[in-house]
Structure 1
Amino acid sequence: MKQQNNTKTALIYAVDLLAIRPYSTQQLITKLKRKEYAPEEIQEAINRLTARHYLDDTDLCQRQYQAYINEKHRSIKAIKYKLMEKGFSQSDIQNAQEETDIDEIDYEYTVCLRLLNSRYIPSKSDKLKCQGYLYRKGFNYSAIRLAIEDFFYNP
């Protein structure tokens, strides 16, 4: 790895990034590596940012989890996967899930029904095709079954 030609240190560049939007530690490390900062300089920047509470993966994971729940577009499984993609640890994701006070089956049923209503028409849709769509999105089978039943038989 080589030091950047410009005058910005890894710390300054990281602060500039964090001024725009929050990043997980892993996302920030990836961005700094792409800019070819030395690993020692990256680690020093991460340590300083964490010590000053500019980086807090636990808090950011909780806020992201809650934001995804409020959007009502994803299954719990898809939310967890999305958070893992962003570099959050399993323990942070588990803590965020435990902190969020929702009934998961009720949440997934509501989102399934919402997706079905926005994408399909009961009289013109195939039940198995709708089930497959929801299953591929990662929804719980019992939530899918309840949503399909209400969508097709209680319009």
Structure 2
Amino acid sequence: MTTILNALFDEGSIFRYAEYGGGTLTALARLDGHPVGVIAADPEQGATMSAEGALAVTRLVDLRETFHLPIVSLTDQAGMTIGSAAARAATIRHGARAITAVYHATVPQTELILRRVFGVGGAGIINRHRASRSWSWPSGEWGSLPSKGGVEAAFRA
């Protein structure tokens, strides 16, 4: 993810906003000289939204709202972190707060889908109803559920 950030944003302008986000990276950066807030899912860290990642997103969105900084989302989000440890960490509660912050944000939002975005975790990164622009690499995939998981869920029911 660092390579992509360095290619997209002004040289030397990337400042990691929260170091505790796990698979969710939050940063402040400059894009053609303009300050922006950045949310990115780091595939090397699992690319799912954890409780810590949701807290990082919420803090960054609140900061951007305060200072009217646009949101740039680099999306490779496989969804929310699941499992008993995620349940104990209140991932769904923190994720719902992050989604609320993103959907209430009034600043401009734009997205670049790097690889895949599925489910609730993807909704916590950008408000697609308010996004100024959305782009995708040709290999980008998105939806409410990956097709393989959807087929498995349908045949279990």
- Structure with the largest fraction of strand: 2
State whether TM-score is above 0.5.
Answer: no
- Which structure has greater helix proportion? 1
Rg (Cα) greater in structure = 1
Larger relative contact order, structure 1 or 2 (CA cutoff 8 Å, min sep 6): 1
TM interval, shorter chain, is: under 0.3
Give the TM-score taking structure 1 as reference length. 0.28
